[in-house]
Amino acid sequence: RAIRAVERLRERGILFTITSGRPPKGMKMVIDPLKISEPIAGFNGGMMVRPDFTVIEARTLPADTARKVIGIIRDHKADPWVYNGNDWIVSNAEAPHVAREQWTVKFPPVVGKVDEKLDQVVKITGVSDDLALMKRLEHDLQQALGDTASAALSQPYYVDVTNRDANKGGVVMTLERLLGIPAAQMVTLGDQPNDVLMFRKSGMSIAMGQASAEVQKQATYVSTSCEEEGFANGIEKYVLGDA
| pTM for the structure as a whole | 0.81
On the question of pLDDT at 65 being above 70, the answer is: yes
123 phi/psi in degrees, rounded to 5: -160, 145
Between CA 130 and CA 162 the distance in angstroms is: 22
pLDDT, tens digit (0-9, with 9 covering 90-100), for 111-146: 999 999 898 899 999 999 999 999 999 999 999 999
Fold match flag (1-58+167-239 vs 63-163): no
CATH architecture of 63-163: 2-Layer Sandwich (3.30)
Mean pLDDT of 65-88: 95
Helix (H) or strand (E) holding 55: strand 55-58
The burial class, CB within 10 Å (0-12 / 13-18 / 19+), for 85 is middle
On the question of pLDDT at 86 being above 80, the answer is: no
On the question of pLDDT at 21 being above 90, the answer is: no
Provide the residue ranges of all domains of the chain, joining segments of one domain with +: 1-58+167-239, 63-163
Q: 214: how many CB neighbours lie within 10 A of its CB?
A: 10
CB-based contact 202:181 (threshold 8 Å): no
235 Cβ contact list (under 8 Å, min separation 6): 5, 6, 8, 9, 189
CB-based contact 131:8 (threshold 8 Å): no
Between CA 210 and CA 159 the distance in angstroms is: 19
Looking at the domain covering 1-58+167-239, what would its CATH class be? alpha beta
